[in-house]
Amino acid sequence: MLAASNRCTLEHPLFSRLGDVVFRPAEADGTPSLVMPLGRSTAVLPLRSLQAELGIDDASTDGQMLARIARSLDFVAALRLGDPLPVEVLDGAASWQPSPLHQQLAASRLKLQLISQLGVDTSVDWARSEPQAVLAAAAEPAMRPGLQAAYIEAAARLGIPDPAAAAQLAEEAAHEMSFIEALRDWLLRRVLRLTGRLRRLAGGFAQNLSGLELLSRVTRLTSIALGRINARFADVDGQTEVVLDALRALDAWRALIRQHRDWLYCSLRGWEPILAAWDAATLDGSDGTWALLGRTYRFLAPRFMPMQEWQASPRFKPHDGDFGPRMVW
């Protein structure tokens, strides 16, 4: 049974008197909030404002729990009193699992990198090789002697008892990297695919200046978003390129990889509805294409457009409507 500190529990008497309250991000701007029934409507109270109003100190039990609730909402859609907190908040593990293929890919890539680093085969940069090439190379019988030699050398350099201990460290590191491999597929490659579809759309808007302007804005914002996502993966790849260094300081390395994993996973949760819509879309320049572009712009603009530019941005009016109320963070 989970301890109270591992569940969404608050000691201040007000919370137990409010009825069926829900903690979730506010629909307007994603602020962690308490949502409670108020007659026929609902009240949405930002957690930080509520904490200040109740005089709850950050260092108090409730203050620490409110902070954990706020962070939990990066990983779950909502929490109620008594619900378990997600494991990301409790111990840094993940509440989701990569596929078996991603686990195999991570293990294969790390083993090949270790072999390369220790001088058995230095001809290929396995950290940045395509998945198919990594899996094929790792399956080659000729790699097995090289891997055993690499484990022996790694154990000697790390000052640990035997090659089996080095292999165990490598397995732990590969487990952490399997989440990154999954997110590379589920987030990075899908955003890259979206940028390709946007480029192909440009030809269809050649005679439509309003459409071309909207498409240009969406393309530019998607490029900014892609740059930030790419930077995360580049940092992870850089941290993992020298496998022996990662194994030497595995706890610190794991903590860093998990920070990137959580940022990327939270990004995926935000992107998923948009990416799923683009994955399913038939882009033919119809009203459906307009609507999807508008929806994508509304998602991207408050997140990736500079604040001053966002506040001054005109409201697009495709056909006889617009994209709804403008959101300002």
pLDDT of 76-108, one tens digit each? 999 999 999 999 999 999 999 999 999 999 999
| Domain endpoint, select from 115, 138, 165 | 165
The better pLDDT of the pair 34, 124 is held by 34
pLDDT in tens, 188-225: 999 999 999 998 887 666 566 666 888 899 999 999 99
Query: Quick one: which of 147, 148, 122, 94 has its CA closest to 266?
Result: 94
Global pTM value: 0.84
The range of the structural domain enclosing residue 204 comes to 179-312
Residue 328 clears pLDDT 60, i.e. is over it: no
The residue to which tokens 């457009």 are assigned: 305
One domain, residues 308 and 183: yes
Please tell me whether residues 194 and 283 are part of one structural domain: yes
Is the domain of 183 the same as that of 210? yes
Are 66 and 140 part of one and the same domain? no
Q: Is 327 domain-assigned?
A: no
User: Is residue 209 domain-shared with residue 285, that is, in the same domain?
Assistant: yes
Shared domain check, 189 and 298: yes
- What is the 3-class SS of the chain, one letter each residue? CCCHHHECCCCCHHHHHCCCCEEEECCCCCCEEEEEEECCEEEEEEHHHHHHHHCCCCCCHHHHHHHHHHHHCCCCCCECCCCECCHHHHCCCCCCCCCHHHHHHHHHHHHHHHHHHCCCCCCCCHHHCCHHHHHHHHHCCCHHHHHHHHHHHHHHHHCCCCHHHHHHHHHHHHHHHHHHHHHHHHHHHHHHHHHHHHHHHHHHHCCCHHHHHHHHHHHHHHHHHHHHHHHHHHHHHHHHHCHHHHHHCHHHHHHHHHHHHHHHHHHHHHHHHHHHHHHHCCCCCCHHHHHHHHHHHHHHHHHHCCHHHHHHCCCCCCCCCCCCCCCCC
* Per-residue pLDDT tens digits for 254-281: 999 999 999 999 999 999 999 999 999 8
Question: Residue 129's pLDDT is what?
Answer: 85
Domain boundary among the residues 140, 165, 190 is at 165
Is 22 domain-assigned?
A: yes
Are 268 and 190 contained in the same domain?
A: yes
Res 76: pLDDT: 92
User: How far apart (Å, rounded) are the C-alpha atoms in residues 90 and 262?
Assistant: 13
- Rounded to 10 deg, the angle between the 209-241 and 189-201 helix axes is 150
User: Which of 9 and 320 is assigned the larger pLDDT?
Assistant: 9
Gap between the Cα atoms of 91 and 163, Å rounded: 29
Number of domains observed in the structure of the chain: 3
